[in-house]
Amino acid sequence: MSRKRTLPDVYRSRKRVCATPANHSSQEALNTNGVDWNDGESSNHIDNSIVPNDTSCALAYLKNLFPVEKFEGRLPPIILQHQLYAIVSNRTLVDQQLMELRNCGKIKLFKLGSEASEFCVLYADDYKSHVRKFIQNMSLNQAVIEKFLTSVVDQCQDISLSKHKLMTELKFKDEEVTQLVKACVLTVRDVGSWWMAFPGAGIFMKSFIRGRKAVLMMIRKCKYKEIIREELKSRKLPRIARLGMEYHIHDLIGADLVECVPTTSGMLLRLQE
């Protein structure tokens, strides 16, 4: 147990690199009964709309990793929330920025399956184009879906919808709701409530679970149940796992299924019991 733990910078014993303006503000902060509030001030001057934040960059990178061509266009690029934790180290920051992006309407979050809390992130535009492509192939009432896309998807940022909201607030009828469930945009959660969903989730989950199992098996077979990241990347996945090794590595690290240990030969991934 190390005796030195990172104390919050209460003693301000380290000299500030910035010039006098910061010093004046820190003196003021000393007089106000609290910790220095001006730490993050310089970053506010950056125009947030131009420079994408950490989470958006990570999302864009992961979107590129997703092999859309392997699924013959049946799936949009899907990113899992915990993959972002593997790239950006501060998890709370990732959560907060995801919240901001959701409120702007740029991305949508979906809850996958019944296991714990696996959320997947889809870009809003990808989601809408995917849904429209899906319903063209099936003989469904397109007007209902369009109404859903404009009223619910654009305005409502929740993961699940209740009967009260759908029927009374948004004026969807029972048959329309059935159509939506048939179109795989809604999944039954409980008696009067539904999860938001996207069509093709099953195909994705099958590939994903198989791939994850295969990668974990690979690590488990290693001596001491650990492997260097570069070596794992060079190994080939079986045909059923179509998502690619990089995608799965990010997933395993973010979900805390493997522990990252920095070594002199690179990053070591050790299986967590």
Footprint of other proteins on this chain (CB under 8 A)? 1, 3, 5-8, 10-11, 30-31, 33-35, 85, 90-92, 94-96, 99, 111, 116-117, 158-160, 162-165, 189-190, 192-193, 256
In the complex, what is the shortest distance from the CB of residue 86 to other proteins, in angstroms, rounded to a whole number? 12
In the complex, what is the shortest distance from the CB of residue 212 to other proteins, in angstroms, rounded to a whole number? 17
Where helices occur in the chain by DSSP H, the ranges are: 20-31, 54-65, 81-87, 91-104, 124-137, 142-148, 154-155, 163, 174-182, 201-221, 229-234, 245-254
In the complex, what is the shortest distance from the CB of residue 239 to other proteins, in angstroms, rounded to a whole number? 32
CA 17 to CA 181: how far, in whole Å? Answer: 58
Based on CB atoms, which residue is closest to other proteins, 95 or 146? Answer: 95
Which residue is listed with tokens 């001491």?
A: 224
Based on CB atoms, which residue is closest to other proteins, 94 or 135? Answer: 94
Based on CB atoms, which residue is closest to other proteins, 142 or 193? Answer: 193
CA 109 to CA 197: how far, in whole Å? Answer: 9
In the complex, what is the shortest distance from the CB of residue 191 to other proteins, in angstroms, rounded to a whole number? 8
Percent helix, percent strand, percent coil in the chain, to nearest 5:
50, 15, 35
Based on CB atoms, which residue is closest to other proteins, 85 or 123? Answer: 85
